[in-house]
């Protein structure tokens, strides 16, 4: 009996204790956050979404390498010397076009490892955590602010620039034998063949200087350097640099000393392999008049604004066949185009991919 009373008492005591607790909570304020209406302030270090201040990015690739899951992808193009990309906010000179800066937030695991290596602190977490998407592909954020046209342009310029540099390097070393050079270049690469001195007879005379016209090319307003004494035989064609034509006002640089033999065809050079299919061979008889304007080779695509970089030995110019001088290869330091026949680009005239890649 006593036991029952005791038990009954403890039963009710515990029940009322429990009910006391619940009623206290009933009157205590709720901890609920009415989410869409109210939002909690995230801590400063919250990791929720990456953001790239692309204006400050120097394309150093550090973040890409830091990411354990490879969710950052960057493509860059080196800026040409005539472009100033400006400086980052902390004073670093920018030298690259960032043609692509994609972060796949679907892959990101929010480890924050990518933000620390950034030298300019332009990649960081922002407090936006409401970016769900119906399509996973929408979680790839593109931070590059270049338009496709701009990307194409800078890419092309960078290639041309590269070609030009190579050409310069080559011409410096090459003594050349001038083939007759039909150089036509297809497109952009104007290839006046530097160094090709068209000797009459097409033999390259040793010791002949290549007329590398380095600066000639592409400098707008450059006068043609028709060298006095250049015997432009009527009918000889100056090797106008195809690329030249693209530069408004650029004159053709007829290389002095290029003696184009009248009537000489392109492949007058023994062994010169005119590349089959090369278009734009300047036909003898072309206007060889000094001071002649560059004859734009048909088929040469002048890139607007492209500076002609007559790359010596621009073998890579799409469509242009290099006129390789057969003997050229003897020239020490001659680059790629030294192998006779080497650069014939089959079906020349391809796009402007960088031909040099083979090097």
Partner 1 sequence: MITESILLLLLFALIPLIIILIYALFAIWGERKVAGFIQDRLGPMRVGGWHGWAQSFADLLKLIQKEDIIPANADRFLFRLAPFIMFAASYAAFAVLPFSSSFIGSNLDIGVFFLLAITSLLSISVIMGGWASNNKWSLFGAMRSAAQMVSYEVPTIMSVLSVIVVAGSLNLMTVTEMQSGNDTLGFLPNWLILQNPFLIIAFVIFFISILAEAHRVPFDLPESESELVAGFQTEYSGMRWAMFMLAEYADMLLLSLLGAVLFFGGWNSPFGDFMAGPAWGFFWFMLKGLLLVFVMMWIRWTLPRYRVDQLMYLCWSILIPLSFLNFVLIALWEMIF
- 28 or 147, CB closer to partner 1? 28
| Least separation in angstroms between CB 134 and partner 1 | 23
Residue 126 φ/ψ, nearest 5 degrees: -110, 170
CA proximity to 153, closest of 328, 338, 306: 306
Closest CA to 191 of 345, 305, 82, 331: 345
- DSSP state, residue 210: P
Distance between alpha carbon 343 and the CA centroid of its chain, in Å? 22
> How far, in Å, CA of 245 to CA of 307, rounded?
9
90-109 positions binding ligand SF4, by CB under 6 A: 103, 108-109
From candidates 49, 52, 256, 272, binder to ligand SF4 by CB under 6 A: 52
Between residue 123 and residue 162, which ones bind ligand SF4 under the rule CB under 6 A? Answer: 123
Residue 25 binding result from partner 1, ligand SF4, none, given CB thresholds of 5 to 8 Å by partner type? partner 1
Nearest distance from C-beta of residue 161 to ligand SF4, angstroms: 22
Distance CA 175, CA 332 (A): 8
Nearer to partner 1, 28 or 132 (CB): 28
Residue among 36 and 148 whose Cβ is closer to partner 1: 36
Inter-residue contact 309 to 355 (CB < 8 Å): no
23 binding partner (options partner 1, ligand SF4, none; Cβ < 5 to 8 Å by kind)? partner 1
Q: Which is nearest to 238 in space by CA: 178, 286, 187, 300?
A: 286
When the beta carbons of 99 and 167 are compared against ligand SF4, the nearer one is: 99
Q: Which does 69 bind (CB under 5 to 8 A by kind): partner 1, ligand SF4, none?
A: ligand SF4
Whole-angstrom Cα distance, residue 336 to residue 148? Answer: 32
CA–CA dist 283, 295 (Å, integer): 10
Measured from the CB atom, is 60 or 169 closer to ligand SF4? 60
Query: Does 57 help bind ligand SF4 (rule: CB under 6 A)?
Result: yes
Helices vs. strands in the chain: H and E counts, helices first: 4, 7
> CB 132 → ligand SF4: shortest distance, Å?
17
List the one residue from 42, 51, 55, 66 that touches ligand SF4 (CB under 6 A).
Answer: 66
| Structure tokens, 61 | 């690739």
Judged by CB under 6 A, which of 12, 110, 116, 131 binds ligand SF4?
110
Tell me whether residue 63 or residue 278 sits nearer to ligand SF4 (CB atom). 63
């Amino acid at each position: 009996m006593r036991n029952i009373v005791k038990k009954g008492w403890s039963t009710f005591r515990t029940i009322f204790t429990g009910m006391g607790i619940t009623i206290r909570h009933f009157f205590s304020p709720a901890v609920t956050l009415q989410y869409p209406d109210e939002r909690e302030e995230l801590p400063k270090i919250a990791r929720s979404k990456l953001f790239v201040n692309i204006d400050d990015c120097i394309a150093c690739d550090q973040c890409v390498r830091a990411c354990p899951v490879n969710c950052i992808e960057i493509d860059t193009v080196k800026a040409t010397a005539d472009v100033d990309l400006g400086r980052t906010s902390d004073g670093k000179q920018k030298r690259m076009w960032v043609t692509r800066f994609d972060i796949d937030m679907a892959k990101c695991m929010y480890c924050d490892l990518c933000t620390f290596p950034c030298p300019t602190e332009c990649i960081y977490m922002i407090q936006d955590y409401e970016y769900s998407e119906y399509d996973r592909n929408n979680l790839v954020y593109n931070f590059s602010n270049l338009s496709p046209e701009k990307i194409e342009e800078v890419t092309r310029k960078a290639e041309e620039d590269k070609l030009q540099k190579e050409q310069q390097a080559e011409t410096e070393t090459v003594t050349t034998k001038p083939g007759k050079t039909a150089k036509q270049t297809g497109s952009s690469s104007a290839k006046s063949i530097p160094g090709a001195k068209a000797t009459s007879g097409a033999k390259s005379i040793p010791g002949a200087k290549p007329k590398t016209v380095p600066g000639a090319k592409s400098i707008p307003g450059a006068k043609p350097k028709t060298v006095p004494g250049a015997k432009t035989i009527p009918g000889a064609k100056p090797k106008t640099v195809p690329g030249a034509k693209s530069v408004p006002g650029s004159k053709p640089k007829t290389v002095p000393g290029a003696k184009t033999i009248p009537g000489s065809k392109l492949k007058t050079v023994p062994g010169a392999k005119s590349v089959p299919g090369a278009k734009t061979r300047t036909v003898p008889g072309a206007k060889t008049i000094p001071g002649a304007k560059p004859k734009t080779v048909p088929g040469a695509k002048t890139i607007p604004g492209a500076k002609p970089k007559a790359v010596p030995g621009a073998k890579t110019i799409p469509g242009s066949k290099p006129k390789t001088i057969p003997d050229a290869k003897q020239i020490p330091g001659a680059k790629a185009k030294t192998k006779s026949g080497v650069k014939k680009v089959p079906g020349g005239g391809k796009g402007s991919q960088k031909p040099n890649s083979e090097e």
